[in-house]
Structure 1
Amino acid sequence: MDDRWTEQHIPDQHGRVAIVTGANTGLGFETARMLAERGARVVLAVRDVEKGKQAAARITGAVTVQALDLTSLDSIRSAAADLRAEHPRIDLLVNNAGVMHTPRQATADGFELQFGTNHLGHFALTGLLLDLLLPVPGSRVVTVSSTGHRIRAAIHFDDLQWERSYSRVGAYGQAKLANLMFTYELQRRLAPHGSTVALAAHPGTSNTELTRNVPAAVRAPIAWLAPLLTQKPAMGALPTLRAATDPAALGGQYYGPGNRGEARGFPKVVTSSPASYDHAVQRGLWAVSEELTGVSFPVG
């Protein structure tokens, strides 16, 4: 039996509305492209609207562009208001956008950039849109994490914004661990409310622009080895797409590449780190995320 899940396995998406953050390039673009080509109405939620329009022009199907800067709560609230006005229902929210290994920077609201963008921005966006998903049968929230959630990763409640000392790798690990803990806690809260589910995915080692902030001394060897060690964005997007569309996918599942080490391969259900399943930390992260963003969810 061939268990390789490919683009051809994506069910018909006509009638579905999908919002994909960071969809102008890389994994987000491929996710949006495949959803649109299967019939979904796709919103590319991007920081650079001009690049978003250029990406939309390369996609066959019903595609629109929405300005969204995940480093600004004002922008997130504005984007959510626009999306609510345009779409009375949402079938799929893909929290894909992210930054990796950036120098120490702060968002417009003073959050450490990786934690603020990758986790808090998507937390806020999801909370502001969730009531449009709840009445929709089969609706899903899919959040993209990374194998980086295992590397020097913990939720540093005593210094969430890395103000005392900063590690690019540690901050990325915290943010990607937060993506998973958010997904698991969200699924627990969604379970009593109907058919909306939350899932997570990771792309393995994919050759995308995400490595642009890796130090130059490391970037050159990565570029040389990339063809040997990485997979193309279209393959890296498959775990997200399976989580988003496979009728057999269940809330709380985590999808990644199926080969050993989860670096490459066709998507399957994988297991995240033991730390990611800590219910007490999940609840603590949820509470502090609500406090920092000022966004409360319609599920509790």
Structure 2
Amino acid sequence: MSAPGWNANAIPDQTGRVAVVTGATSGTGFQAALALAGRGARVILACRNASKAEEAIGRIRAVHPRAQVEVQALDLGSLASVRAAAAVIRARTERLDLLLNNAGVMIPPHGRTEDGFETQIGTNHFGHFALTGLLLEHLLATPGSRIVTMSSLAHRNGRIQADDLNFERGYRAWAAYSQSKLANLLFAFELHRRLEAAGISTLSVAAHPGWARTELQRHAGWIRWMRALGLEALLSQDAAGGALPLLRAATDPTVEGGVYYGPTGFQELKGAPAPVAPIALSRDRDLQAWLWRRSEESTGVAYPI
């Protein structure tokens, strides 16, 4: 299963394939969209900010003039927006080969989504849970399709607060972020189990970018301190490097469902992508099943498997 030194040059031809990438205006999402478009895929940039999305398309076409790229408005913090976006994607496409659940928010000030969820669990998990469920029939109908969900090293500190998912009893930004990233893994692994049990070939895979220098970290004050000490450049990688685990999980023919990809360098902060080990809690089947039920109840989206 290993491929030392795997990089974007190893992405197979994607001609004829359709990919949806959330959060594709910058960072790892943009780099993933750029790479897939460059290999011939039709890429739908599912983004909240339309003007940034159009700018991203211009940047992609500056590198790949014949790229098939388009924008779909999507606010993962609004279930109404998720439903509307999924309906348009289903209407505009006959197939869906790749869904890259990449978008996310990290340690913002306390807030609530349109539907009342704490911002991070609402955007990072519930929004993607709903989007995946609403697009699943298209994915199931497409041979070789994959769903890749982006987690984070922060999942290692994550705990699911079953009695207070929305931090109504005191907001702690890092705890809420870590919970949402653990939720991403619980979801990806439970989805894999359900697909496999149903004998469905669609793969559910997870990934993390290591420490990638992106806009996601704009609320993290410690980044400025690390930068001043010269440690950021030493320990991190650029957004293109951070996108490689996502891209390998999405395109490598040897990938298996239920696997977690990340950088293989020091502490998984940077380096070539390969399977890495998540914390044991992410493999807890009872917790996976509980979160799945809670997610269906909270979003009103039931999966057709």
| Counterpart contact for 1:89–1:136, Cα < 8 Å | yes
Q: CA deviation at 1:31?
A: 0.3
| Counterpart contact for 1:134–1:193, Cα < 8 Å | no
| Counterpart contact for 1:207–1:231, Cα < 8 Å | yes
Q: CA deviation at 1:99?
A: 0.4
- Partner residue of 2:37? 36
Work out the CA distance in 1 between the residues paired with 2:226 and 2:127.
29
Q: CA deviation at 1:223?
A: 3.4
Corresponding residue SS for 1:195: coil
**Which residue identity does 1:220 align to in structure 2?**
R
| Counterpart contact for 1:154–1:177, Cα < 8 Å | yes
Spell out the pairing of 1:181-192 with structure 2 (5 A cutoff). 181-191=186-196, 192=198
Work out the CA distance in 2 between the residues paired with 1:78 and 1:54.
23
The answer to whether the aligner puts 1:74 opposite 2:80 as a matched pair is yes
- Partner residue of 1:222? 226
Corresponding residue SS for 1:237: helix
- Partner residue of 1:161? 166
**Which residue identity does 1:241 align to in structure 2?**
L
TM-score w.r.t. length of structure 2? 0.95
Q: CA deviation at 1:226?
A: 2.0
- Partner residue of 2:15? 14
1:209-246 Cα shifts (integer Å, max 9, x gaps)? 0111124xx24213333212210110110000000000
Work out the CA distance in 1 between the residues paired with 2:275 and 2:217.
25
Unpaired segments of 5 or more residues in structure 1? none
Tell me which of 264, 267, 274 is aligned to 1:261. 267
Spell out the pairing of 1:1-300 with structure 2 (5 A cutoff). 3-59=4-60, 60=64, 61-151=67-157, 153-191=158-196, 192-215=198-221, 218-224=222-228, 225-299=231-305
Q: State which drifts further: 275-284 or 218-227.
A: 218-227
1:125-178 Cα shifts (integer Å, max 9, x gaps)? 000000001021110000000000012x11111000000011111000100000
Q: Quickly say closer, same or farther: Cα 1:184–1:68, change in 2 above 3 A.
A: same
Corresponding residue SS for 2:20: strand
Work out the CA distance in 1 between the residues paired with 2:291 and 2:3.
40
| Counterpart contact for 2:3–2:274, Cα < 8 Å | no
Work out the CA distance in 2 between the residues paired with 1:121 and 1:4.
33
Corresponding residue SS for 1:20: strand
Give identity over the alignment, percent.
54
| Counterpart contact for 2:223–2:232, Cα < 8 Å | no
Corresponding residue SS for 1:58: helix
RMSD (CA atoms):
1.1
| Paired positions, count | 296
Corresponding residue SS for 2:99: strand
| Counterpart contact for 2:23–2:30, Cα < 8 Å | yes
Corresponding residue SS for 2:209: coil
Work out the CA distance in 1 between the residues paired with 2:226 and 2:45.
29
Q: CA deviation at 1:77?
A: 0.5
Q: Quickly say closer, same or farther: Cα 1:88–1:2, change in 2 above 3 A.
A: closer
1:91-138 Cα shifts (integer Å, max 9, x gaps)? 000000000011110000000000000000000000000000102111
